[in-house]
Amino acid sequence: MPRPGRAELRRLAQRVRRRRRRTALREIPLLLGVAVLIALVVKTFLVQAFVIPSGSMEQTIRVGDRVVVDKLTPWFGSRPHRGDVVVFKDPGGWLGADGPPHKPDAAALHAVKKGLTAIGLLPSDNEHDLIKRVVAVGGDHVACCDSRGRVAVNGTPVDEPYVHPGNKPSAVPFEVRVPAGRLFVMGDHRADSGDSRFHQDPRFRGTVSEDSVVGRAVVIAWPLGHWATLGQRAAYAHVADAPVGAASAPDGSHKVAPQKPKATAVLPIPAELPLVMGVVGLHHARCRRRHEVRS
* CB count in 10 Å sphere of residue 139: 20
Element (H, E) at 156: strand 156-158
Task: Return the pLDDT at 111.
Answer: 78
In this prediction, residue 94 carries a pLDDT of 79
Upper half-sphere CA count for residue 99 (Cβ side, 13 Å):
22
Q: Which residues pair with 119 in a beta bridge?
A: none
- Percent helix, percent strand, percent coil in the chain, to nearest 5: 25, 20, 55
Q: Taking Cα atoms as reference points, which of 204, 177, 207 lies closest to residue 195?
A: 207
Count of residues for the chain? 295
**Using CA atoms, how far apart are residues 217 and 83, in angstroms rounded to an integer?**
11
pLDDT at 2: 64
As annotated, the active-site residues are: 56, 132
Distance CA 197, CA 270 (A): 10
The pair phi, psi for residue 191, each rounded to 5°, is: -80, -5
pLDDT at 290: 39
The one-letter code for the residue type at 172 is: V
Which whole-number Å values give the CA distances from 67 to 158, 216, 228, 235, 279, in the listed order?
Answer: 25, 10, 9, 21, 10
Give me the long-range contacts of 152-161 (CB less than 8 A, separation at least 24).
153/82, 153/236, 153/239, 154/239, 154/240, 154/241, 154/242, 155/240, 156/238, 156/239, 156/240, 158/235, 158/236, 158/239, 159/235, 160/232, 160/235, 161/232, 161/235
Helix or strand run (H / E) with residue 10? helix 6-45
Phi first, then psi, for residue 151 (nearest 5°) are -75, 135
- Digit-by-digit pLDDT tens for the chain (295 residues) are 666 667 777 777 777 777 777 777 777 877 777 777 776 666 666 778 777 767 889 999 998 888 888 888 777 778 899 999 999 988 887 776 334 444 556 777 767 766 665 665 554 445 578 899 999 999 999 999 888 999 999 999 999 999 999 999 999 999 999 999 999 999 999 999 989 999 888 788 899 999 999 889 999 988 888 899 898 999 999 999 988 766 665 544 434 444 433 444 444 433 333 343 343 333 333 343 334 455 5
pLDDT on residue 141: 95
| pLDDT at residue 220 in the model | 92
